[in-house]
Amino acid sequence: EGVAWFSDQGGPPDDQLQVRVTSVAAPACADSGPEWSCDGLARVRCQFGETLREPCMHGCVPMGGGAVCAGPPSDMDLDGDGALADADCDDEDATVYPGATEICGDGRDQDCDGNDVLCGAGGDGGMFVPVDAGPGGGGLTGGCSASGARVGPTWLALLGLLALGATRLRRRLES
């Protein structure tokens, strides 16, 4: 036990601020130990004298001397997209499900086939068509339509550089 005095003004000790510091071990948690255990719809454990509680949306399951939060039942559709949890690769996003339309170049797998779709240049003068980015890929996975076709900024920059080069070459040949 230590005592610290904050007042050095003198005077009687009863008029001075006094702080007492006593260090003791953290109290043990009465309900749980250091390993995760189930407590209703949550898992709990004791860490540094405090009870940690982690809610489990689908319940808690004892496993191997500890406890884990259960996953969603396979017959549920959490995001309401019509695909059950066991087939849906992201059951928290309603735009992602087997058979969904892929959006090229967004870094996401909307149709749960394990592959994202990259946007690659077609042979039609700069129009973009979806190209499968999966293993052994390279095949086209999407069609070409006037509504989905677009000219990317990279192709516009390349076209500008080609025009600039052609202009310079023509000027050199003329002089």
* Paired tokens of 110: 């909307």
Residue 92 lies in a domain: no
Residue 14 lies in a domain: yes
Residue 22 lies in a domain: yes
Examine the domain organization and report whether 108 and 175 are in the same domain.
Answer: yes
Q: Where are the beta strands (DSSP E) in the chain?
A: 2-5, 18-21, 37-39, 42-47, 50-55, 60-63, 66-69, 117-121, 128-132
**pLDDT of 66 over the 70 cut:** yes
Amino acid present at 52: L
Q: SS3 for 33?
A: coil
Residue 97 lies in a domain: no
Q: Which domain holds residue 7?
A: 2-69
Q: Using only the alpha carbons of the chain, give its radius of gyration.
A: 33
**pLDDT of 107 over the 50 cut:** yes
- pTM for this one? 0.32
Average pLDDT, integer, range 49-78: 82
The reported pLDDT for the residue numbered 145 is 46
Residue 115 lies in a domain: yes
